C-alpha cells in the first residue's frame, strides 16, 4: 500500500497522469445525498476530466472488506462510517490520501487524517413538531428530553447505542468532556427511564422526519440534514441544536482500487470550498474546508451544524472503534429486556 502511494506521489511529482479510464465508481449512501454530490462534485469532475462518474450505494463496510480481501475492488472512492473508517485503516483496507493532490490546508487540524478524507459534518439533534411545542416550549437539552412530565408526547430515538448512550449520560448530569470512556451501567440505567416513552426506535435516516411529519411521534432525534430537508419543504418541524452529537462524514479509497489516482482527484474536487458550499446548501451538511462558509447564503447558515459547534460535542470514533461491538451487544440485550 505504501509502495503504491509512493508510486502515485512520484507520478504526481512528474506531472505524469495515469491514463484516463472511461469511468470511475464512487460509492455513497445514496438518496438525497447522491443527488447533492452529483450537483456539487460529480458534474464538475466529469466536465473537467472527461471521466464518467458511476454511482453506487449504500456505504457498506462488510462489502468493502470483502472487496479488498478478494482483490476485486469495484469502488474507486467510497463513503464509510466514522468508526468504520478507523477500523478500516487498522485493517489496512484503504489507501493513503495523497496530500499533493488533495489540498486540505484549510481544514481543521483534526480533520486531516492520513487515510480518511473528512467530507462533511453532521449532527444528531432534537427535531420537534412546532404545532405541539409552540414559542420555544420544546425540550432544549437531554435532561429536558428525559423529562416526560414537562414535555409529554411520543418520542423516537435511533436503534443504536451511538448517540443514545451519550445523550443518557448528558441527561444524567455528566459534562461533555467526561462522556468518554462511557459508563455503560450508568447510561443504560438512565435509558431505562426513557424506554417506555420511545414509540419508535428508528433504523434508517429518513424515518425521524417521516415520523414527525405523520405525527407518529412529536419528538425525534435525527440527523440535521433530514430535518433541514423537511423544514425547507415547509414541514411543521424545527431543530434544537443544543447538546447535539457531532460526527464527520468520511470517504476513503479502497486498497487496490483500480483507479486510485482518479479517486484522489475526486477527493480533491470534494475539497474545493465553492463546491462544498453547493453541497451544504443542498443538504445542510457543511464540508470541512473552513472557507466554504464564505460561499453559503445567509439564509442557509442557521441550519449548518458548524454554526453551533460550541454547544455540541464530538462523538469519539476511536472509542467506538475499540468498544463498538461491546456497546452494540449490550444495546441488543437492553432492548430485549422486558421493561
Give the footprint of another protein on this chain (CB under 8 A): 60-62, 65, 87, 154, 159, 199-203, 214-216, 324-325, 328-329, 332-333, 335-336
Q: Tell me whether residue 156 or residue 289 sits nearer to another protein (CB atom).
A: 156
Torsion of CA 313, 314, 318, 323, to 10 degrees: 50
249 to 88, 124, 277, 288: CA distances (angstroms): 15, 13, 15, 10
Q: How far is the CB of 78 from another protein (least distance, A)?
A: 14
Q: Between 219 and 270, whose beta carbon lies closer to another protein?
A: 219
Select 136 or 196, whichever has its Cβ closest to another protein.
196
Q: Which of 99, 211, 90, 88 is nearest to 155 (CA)?
A: 211
Residue number, 61 or 295, with CB nearest to another protein: 61
- CB 63, min distance to another protein, A: 8
> From the CB of 199, what's the least distance to another protein, in Å?
6
Task: State the cell numbers at 221.
Answer: 432525534
Residue 294 has φ and ψ, to the nearest 5°, of: -60, -20
Q: Which three cell numbers stand for residue 43?
A: 458534474
Distance of CA 290 to CAs 106, 107, 216, Å? Answer: 6, 6, 38
Smallest distance from another protein to CB 338, Å: 10
| Closer residue to another protein in complex, CB, 32/328 | 328
CB of 333 to another protein, least distance (A): 5
How near is the Cβ of 62 to another protein at its closest, in Å? 5
Length of the chain: 339
Residue nearer to another protein on the CB measure, 309 or 322: 322
Task: Measure the CA–CA gap between 188 and 172, rounded to whole angstroms.
Answer: 11
- Closest CB to another protein among residues 32, 200: 200
How far apart are alpha carbons 166 and 172 in whole angstroms?
10
Q: How far is the CB of 25 from another protein (least distance, A)?
A: 20
User: For residues 279 and 211, is the Cβ–Cβ distance under 8 A?
Assistant: no
Q: What is the CB-side half-sphere exposure of residue 228 using CA atoms within 13 A?
A: 24
d(CA 321, CA 82): 9
Amino acid at each position: 500500500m505504501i509502495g503504491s502511494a509512493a508510486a502515485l506521489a512520484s507520478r504526481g511529482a512528474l506531472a505524469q497522469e495515469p491514463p484516463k479510464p472511461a469511468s470511475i465508481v464512487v460509492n455513497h449512501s445514496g438518496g438525497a445525498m447522491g443527488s447533492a454530490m452529483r450537483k456539487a462534485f460529480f458534474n464538475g469532475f466529469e466536465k473537467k476530466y472527461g471521466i464518467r462518474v458511476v454511482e453506487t450505494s449504500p456505504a457498506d463496510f462488510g462489502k468493502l472488506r470483502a472487496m479488498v480481501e478478494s482483490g476485486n475492488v469495484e469502488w474507486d472512492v467510497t463513503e464509510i462510517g466514522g468508526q468504520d473508517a478507523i477500523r478500516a485503516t487498522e485493517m489496512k483496507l484503504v489507501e493513503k490520501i495523497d496530500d499533493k493532490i488533495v489540498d486540505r490546508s484549510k481544514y481543521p487540524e483534526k480533520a486531516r487524517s492520513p487515510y480518511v478524507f473528512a467530507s462533511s459534518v453532521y449532527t444528531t439533534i432534537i427535531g420537534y413538531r412546532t404545532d405541539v411545542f409552540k414559542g420555544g416550549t420544546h425540550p432544549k437539552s437531554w435532561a429536558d428530553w428525559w423529562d416526560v412530565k414537562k414535555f409529554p408526547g411520543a418520542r423516537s430515538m435511533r436503534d443504536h447505542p451511538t448517540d443514545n448512550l451519550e445523550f443518557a449520560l448528558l441527561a444524567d448530569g455528566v459534562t461533555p468532556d467526561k462522556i468518554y470512556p462511557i459508563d455503560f451501567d450508568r447510561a443504560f440505567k438512565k435509558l431505562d427511564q426513557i424506554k417506555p416513552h420511545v414509540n419508535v426506535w428508528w433504523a434508517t435516516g429518513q424515518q425521524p422526519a417521516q415520523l414527525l411529519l405523520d405525527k407518529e411521534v412529536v419528538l425525534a432525534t435525527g440527523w440535521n440534514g433530514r430535518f433541514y430537508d423537511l423544514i425547507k419543504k415547509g414541514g411543521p418541524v424545527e431543530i434544537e441544536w443544543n447538546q447535539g452529537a457531532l460526527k464527520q462524514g468520511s470517504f476513503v479509497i479502497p486498497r487496490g482500487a483500480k483507479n486510485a489516482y482518479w479517486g484522489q482527484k475526486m477527493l480533491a474536487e470534494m475539497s474545493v470550498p465553492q463546491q462544498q458550499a453547493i453541497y451544504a446548501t443542498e443538504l445542510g451538511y457543511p464540508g470541512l474546508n473552513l472557507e466554504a462558509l464564505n460561499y453559503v447564503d445567509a439564509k442557509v447558515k442557521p441550519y449548518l451544524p458548524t454554526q453551533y459547534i460550541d454547544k455540541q460535542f464530538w462523538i469519539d470514533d476511536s472509542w467506538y472503534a475499540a468498544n463498538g461491538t461491546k456497546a452494540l451487544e449490550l444495546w441488543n440485550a437492553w432492548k430485549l429486556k422486558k421493561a
